[in-house]
Amino acid sequence: MDVDKLLAAISPEIYQNMLTAVETGRWPDGKPVTDEQRDHTQQMVILYQSKHNHQPQHFTVGTDGELVMKSKQELKRQYKEDQTIISVPQNDS
């Protein structure tokens, strides 16, 4: 099967379900992920991230194909910035 066609068929919701399955060892319906499913799903998650991950988080694959590993200081700074954006009140006047 053509990898690009396969990746194009994966919606963000499907990607999130696969990522959760890899992280938790369970599918959304609660069934356990087999070793073979985990291996294949991990490969699909990495491929999907390599094509669509324009804002890579810690220990993910960026669109350049490189593994992103942020330092603790970078993660704290990013978290602070995210919290500031969320907590800024909006004036509708």
49's tokens: 């991230």
- What is the crossing angle of helices 12-24 and 35-52, to 10°? 130
- pLDDT digits over 24-63, tens only? 999 999 999 999 999 999 999 888 888 876 565 555 666 6
The answer to pTM > 0.95 is no
pLDDT computed for residue 7 by the predictor:
84
- pLDDT digits over 68-93, tens only? 666 667 767 776 776 666 655 555 54
Rounded to an integer, the average pLDDT of 8-31 is 92
The CA radius of gyration of the chain, in Å to the nearest whole number, is 17
Separation between Cα atoms, residue 82 and residue 89, nearest integer Å: 14
> Which segments within the chain are labelled E, that is strand?
60-61, 67-68
